[in-house]
Structure 1
Amino acid sequence: MAKLAPAKEKQDIKPAPQSGANEKEPELKGAFASVMILGAFILITWFGVFALYLIRS
């Protein structure tokens, strides 16, 4: 049977130093608006299909 190698010790993972303390986070207003529009589309579609189900039954 093959011998297993001993487990390696865990290495401490340190976060990389930040290159600039004054870096701004990216603007996510466009992403937020896109997600809201997509969510509204899904809700409208869902309620439309539900209304068709109620009308036809």
Structure 2
Amino acid sequence: MAKTELSNKTETKTEVEDSSSLKGTLTSVFLLGLFLVITWVGVYSLFLSRF
């Protein structure tokens, strides 16, 4: 009978990632979001000024 993978109990260690590596990602996402908001506000104000 074939052995299933569940029957092989091997210990696997999971490494905990450092949370400081995500600070750059969070900063990038905030900057991108800020850029999008500023762009939309600029386009909307341009739209309103045309009338």
Does TM-score exceed 0.5, indicating one fold? Answer: yes
Call closer, same or farther: CA 1:52–1:24 in 2, change over 3 Å.
Answer: same
Aligned pair count?
43
Match in the other structure for 1:32: 26
The 5 Å alignment of 1:18-57 reads 18-20=12-14, 23-26=15-18, 27-57=21-51
Which has more radius of gyration?
A: 1
Supply the distance in 2 between the matched residues of 1:32 and 1:49 (Cα, whole angstroms).
26
Q: Which structure has greater helix proportion? A: 2
CA offset at residue 35 of structure 1?
Answer: 0.3
Unaligned ranges ≥5, structure 2: none
Task: Give RMSD over aligned pairs.
Answer: 2.5
Unaligned ranges ≥5, structure 1: 1-12
**Sequence identity (%):** 43
Superposition TM-score, scaled by structure 2 size: 0.66
Superposition TM-score, scaled by structure 1 size: 0.60
Call closer, same or farther: CA 1:54–1:32 in 2, change over 3 Å.
Answer: same
CA offset at residue 24 of structure 1?
Answer: 2.3
Q: Which amino acid aligns with 1:31?
A: T
